[in-house]
Amino acid sequence: MDRFRSQLADLLKRTVSSSPHLLERKGWEGNFVRNSMGEMAATAVLLGKGNSGDLVRVVTDITLALVDGWSMDQLDEVHFWRLPDEEKELNLVGVVALTKMFIVEWSNEFDYQMYHDLPVNLKFA
């Protein structure tokens, strides 16, 4: 992750600047997208850890805008980590893989993502 951290931060920021309509279409407020979102995402990625679910959502939605049209199967299967280091590059597959790593870095618990699909009564029982 550290090898690509600054490149990922820059790419997320540029994506917001060049394609704000993709994020507005996802329900983000236009003023926020144009004035704050890219910088917030870049700063969060560069920090390397944190605990803000809002920033995780910002980064993941920008990544989803980048890979607009990908199926869930494409998002789930990431070969990036299996590649030898010299073959790794920051293409779209790499961005998805690094975003997944970012989610883990910013999770309060290691298994944070497990709880998203559970019924409410199981979460709070």
> What mean pLDDT comes out for the span 18-29?
93
Largest CA distance in the chain: 48
What pLDDT, on the 0 to 100 scale, is given for residue 83? 84
**pLDDT tens digit sequence for 38-56:** 999 999 999 888 777 788 8
Q: State the helix-helix crossing angle for 53-66 and 5-18, rounded to 10 degrees.
A: 70
Query: Band of the pLDDT at 125, cuts 50, 70, 90?
Result: very low
- Locate the DSSP E strands across the chain: none
CA distance 93 to 53: 23
> What mean pLDDT comes out for the span 61-77?
89
**pLDDT tens digit sequence for 77-105:** 878 888 888 888 889 999 999 999 888 88
Output the CA–CA distances (angstroms, integers) from residue 21 to 5, 72, 105, in the order listed.
25, 22, 28
What pLDDT, on the 0 to 100 scale, is given for residue 111? 52
pTM: 0.80
**Geometric angle at alpha carbon 6, from 62 and 87, rounded to 5°:** 95
Domain layout of the chain by residue ranges: 2-123
